[in-house]
């Protein structure tokens, strides 16, 4: 059974709402166990437990908030060099469109890459002009159907990759998943 961790930091609840949907999307894939945890309740054991991690945070000055950096800095000793090959992806809520949410996703992905994770983007469009190439980048909280679908899709895709690459289930590959990737 593959394990997915959705780890998030959120100060006014927007990223938390995204995280709940990401976790829901991951749970759509059969045989995947999901943990949804705020950053300050996460331990290094959660990271070691998972096969795939979705890491979400608000955009702060176009970057990841310092608390997220601090948390990952803090697990270098027990985890660096020991969690290579897990699968990672990112999501971020910003104040507005163009506020740097994709940059924040990239800084999240940079952290995960530094730890040796295999990070991915998503080519799908969940609605016209609505995609998640570098992770989910949203203004505020997920409000519209399409914004919610972005979060669900990210979690589902993470779980699909875990199921395909870790559990070896060919049917879980997105090309076999049986939903519209480009509606």
C-beta closer to ligand FMN: residue 25 or 100: 100
User: Applying CB under 6 A, does 135 fall inside the site for ligand FMN?
Assistant: no
Residue 127 interacts with ligand FMN (CB under 6 A)?
Answer: no
Residues 141 to 180 in contact with ligand FMN, rule: CB under 6 A: none
The string over 114-137, giving b where at least 16 C-beta atoms fall within 10 Å of a residue's C-beta and e elsewhere, is ebebebbbbebbbeeebbbebbbb
| 88 is a site residue for ligand FMN (CB under 6 A) | no
Q: Which of 140, 146, 177, 181 binds ligand FMN (CB under 6 A)?
A: 140
What sections of 50-144 are H helices per DSSP? 66-74, 76-79, 101-114
Specify the 3-state DSSP secondary structure of 139: strand
Closest residue by Cα to residue 120 from 55, 167, 47? 55
CB of 102 to ligand FMN, least distance (A): 11
Q: Which residues bind ligand FMN (CB under 6 A)?
A: 10-15, 58-62, 93-96, 99-100, 140
């Amino acid at each position: 059974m593959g394990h997915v961790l959705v780890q998030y930091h959120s100060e006014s609840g927007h990223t938390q709402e995204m995280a709940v949907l990401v976790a829901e999307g991951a749970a759509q894939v059969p045989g995947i166990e999901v943990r949804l945890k705020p950053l300050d309740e996460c331990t290094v054991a959660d990271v070691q437990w998972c096969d795939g991690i979705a890491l979400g945070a608000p955009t702060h000055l176009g970057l990841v908030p310092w608390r997220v950096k601090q948390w990952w800095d803090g697990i270098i000793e027990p985890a660096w060099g020991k969690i290579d090959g897990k699968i990672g992806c990112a999501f971020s809520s910003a104040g507005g469109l163009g506020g740097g949410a994709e940059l924040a996703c990239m800084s999240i992905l940079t952290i995960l890459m530094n730890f040796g994770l295999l990070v991915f983007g998503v080519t799908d469009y969940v609605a016209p002009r609505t995609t998640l190439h570098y992770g989910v980048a949203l203004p505020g909280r997920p409000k519209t159907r399409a914004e919610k679908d972005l979060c669900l899709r990210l979690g589902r895709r993470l779980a699909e990759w875990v199921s395909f690459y870790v559990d070896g289930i060919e049917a879980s590959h997105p090309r076999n998943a049986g939903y519209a990737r480009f509606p």
